[in-house]
Amino acid sequence: MMVSALIERELTRLGSPVRNGVFVAVVGPSGAGKDTLIAYVRERLSDDDHVEFARRVITRHSDGATEDHDTLADAAFIEADASGAFALSWEAHGLRYGIPASVDDAISVGHVVVANTSRGVIPALRQRYANVAVVEITASPEILAERLAARGRESRGEVLARLARTAPHDLSGPGYVAIDNSGSADVAGERFLAVLRKAVAFSDVSGLI
């Protein structure tokens, strides 16, 4: 990913890397339950003005069954990206994804921003923001296969084969937490909630330094 001159000027204004708040990157394979856990913590933090949930822009129509997002056609996305509309963008599975540039302002004033991202963009996030927490949502291969097969897009065998081909990413580093969501979403959700509350406490102190 190449940062445009416009984004570089914006980061110079805010200070690079962007400080004070915390970017919480939620990553994990399809079927791990990322959207479910994000919805869980979002409901419980609805009264906390210091926590924001980034609304992604994707070159895919929203079907109402998964993540609620904004949609752009491929050409419009490329144009928006070139004009500095996104703090971060990436491609995966034939689609383009973008995190709005307004995230930079939210973090610069000490907010915690939660976003569903790709594992491949974690290095770029750690360069862009001073404080990054990586929450990897995982589940056993059997659970992942069952959940994905239930969507009806692939057979269980096809899903298992695809999961076996998934390339690993080294996510180790400060602020990394793995949460197993193979069981009850309430258990995993409470662990995620604890991570976000810790991030809020950190940002409160960070903004005073």
Instruction: Output the CA torsion 110→106→23→63 (10° steps).
Output: 150
Q: Does the annotation place 207 within a ligand binding site? A: no
Q: Does the annotation place 30 within a ligand binding site? A: yes
CA–CA separation, 108 and 120 (whole Å): 24
User: What does 3-18 look like in DSSP terms, one character per residue?
Assistant: --HHHHHHHHHH-SSB
Q: Does the annotation place 198 within a ligand binding site? A: no
CA–CA separation, 12 and 62 (whole Å): 35
With H, G, I as helix, E, B as strand and everything else as coil, classify residue 62. Answer: coil
Contact call for residues 126 and 27 (beta carbons, < 8 A): no
Q: Does the annotation place 206 within a ligand binding site? A: no
Q: Does the annotation place 172 within a ligand binding site? A: no
Q: Does the annotation place 33 within a ligand binding site? A: yes
Q: Does the annotation place 170 within a ligand binding site? A: no
The number of helix segments (H) and strand segments (E) in the chain equals 8, 9
CA–CA separation, 87 and 166 (whole Å): 26
Q: Does the annotation place 28 within a ligand binding site? A: yes
Q: Name the binding residues for ATP.
A: 28-35
Q: Name the binding residues.
A: 28-35
